[in-house]
């Protein structure tokens, strides 16, 4: 794999895969925490392509997520065809921004490759992969937004129709990705009133 040559992407790659090389330093740990705290949903994008190496880094980060019994039921459809992106915008109420994004990644579960799975554990696995993807995008200077598919049957049906997915493949979401056109501020979500210790005593 030929990694992008920009220093920002190389730094992001080092941060994302530091655990593969050993114990991250304290500085790396703070960078990870800062990345989590500053990530936000990005819905407007520059007219600028996202390179294939960068997309691979996003997918590698997604596939590093935990999964129940390590079944890894996820499957990913990378969409950079403008006509298909426009169809997402036209068919999905909350994915209008897909029309202006250079690409979208559809995070799915391939249930045919996960025959031992029970219930909806795949939802948690694919959700963990999606969050990894979102954090990786932010670390690399990209913007992205999770637009929901499953469990809304009409959205699942629309994505299946657009991409020709078989019944055994369930789209969890559509994630438009691109270089941000603005600089949206992250929402402050820390709320200590939502924390209990050792039970639910008031």
Burial of 163 from C-beta contacts in 10 A (0-12 / 13-18 / 19+):
middle
202 compared with 90, residue with greater pLDDT: 90
Helices (H) and strands (E) counted in the chain, each on its own, are 7, 5
Q: Is residue 188 part of a domain?
A: no
| Residue 21, in any domain of the structure | no
Answer whether 104's CB lies under 8 Å from 91's CB: no
Burial degree of 35 (CB within 10 A; 0-12, 13-18, 19+): middle
Question: Residue 201 corresponds to which tokens in the numbers above?
Answer: 């005593």
Residue 22 included in any domain: no
Q: Cβ contacts of residue 70 below 8 Å, gap of 6+? A: none
**What is the span of the domain harbouring residue 157?**
43-181
Q: What is the dihedral of CA 39, 160, 110, 108, to 10 degrees?
A: 0
Tell me the two tokens of residue 109. 């579960």
Tokens representing 163 are 């991409």
Distance, CA of 59 to CA of 132 (rounded, Å): 9
Task: Give the pLDDT score at 115.
Answer: 65
Whether the per-residue pLDDT at 106 is higher than 50: the answer is yes
Rounded CA-CA distance 30/37 in Å is: 10
Q: Are 135 and 108 in contact, with CB atoms under 8 Å apart?
A: no
pLDDT at 12: 53
Q: What is the pLDDT of residue 1?
A: 35
Tens digits of per-residue pLDDT, 12-59?
A: 555 555 544 456 678 889 999 999 999 999 999 999 999 999 999 999
Residues 96-123, mean pLDDT to the nearest whole number:
88
CA distance 124 to 172: 10
pLDDT given for residue 189 in this prediction = 95
Average pLDDT over residues 62-84: 96
Residue with the bigger pLDDT between 44 and 4: it is: 44
Q: CATH number of the domain that 56 lies in? A: 3.40.109.10
Instruction: With respect to residue 52, please indicate whether it lies within any of the assigned structural domains.
Output: yes
Residue 113: per-residue pLDDT:
78
Q: Answer yes or no: are the C-beta atoms of 74 and 67 closer than 8 Å.
A: yes
Q: How far is CA 187 from CA 9, 37, 55, 136, 190, in A?
A: 25, 9, 26, 18, 9
The pLDDT assigned to 57 comes to 98
Lowest-confidence pick of 5-19, 64-78, 97-111: 5-19
* Cβ–Cβ under 8 Å, residues 108 and 77: yes
The two three-digit tokens of residue 151, written as one number: 């469990």
Q: Residue 3: its pLDDT value, please? A: 37
The pLDDT of residue 26 is 80
- Is residue 12 domain-resident? no
Residue 51 lies in a domain: yes
pLDDT in tens, 112-171: 877 665 578 999 999 999 999 999 999 999 999 999 999 999 999 999 999 999 999 999
pLDDT for position 120: 83
Tally the domains of the chain.
Answer: 1
């Amino acid at each position: 794999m030929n990694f992008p040559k920009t220093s920002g992407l190389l730094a992001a790659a080092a941060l994302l895969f530091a655990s593969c090389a050993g114990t991250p330093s304290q500085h790396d740990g703070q960078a990870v925490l800062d990345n989590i705290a500053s990530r936000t949903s990005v819905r407007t994008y520059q007219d600028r392509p996202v390179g294939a190496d960068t997309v691979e880094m996003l997918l590698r980060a997604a596939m590093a997520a935990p999964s129940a019994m390590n079944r890894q039921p996820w499957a990913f459809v990378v969409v950079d065809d403008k006509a298909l992106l426009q169809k997402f915008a036209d068919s999905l109420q909350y994915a209008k921004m897909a029309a202006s994004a250079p690409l979208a990644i559809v995070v799915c579960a391939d249930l045919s490759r996960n025959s031992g799975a029970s219930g909806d554990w795949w939802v948690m696995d694919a959700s963990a992969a999606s969050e990894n993807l979102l954090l990786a995008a932010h670390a690399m200077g990209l913007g992205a937004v999770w637009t929901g598919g499953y469990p809304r049957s009409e959205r699942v049906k629309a994505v299946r129709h657009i991409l020709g997915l078989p019944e055994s493949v369930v789209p969890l979401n559509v994630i438009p990705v691109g270089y941000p056109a603005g600089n949206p501020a992250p929402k402050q979500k820390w709320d200590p009133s939502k924390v209990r210790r050792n039970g639910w005593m008031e």
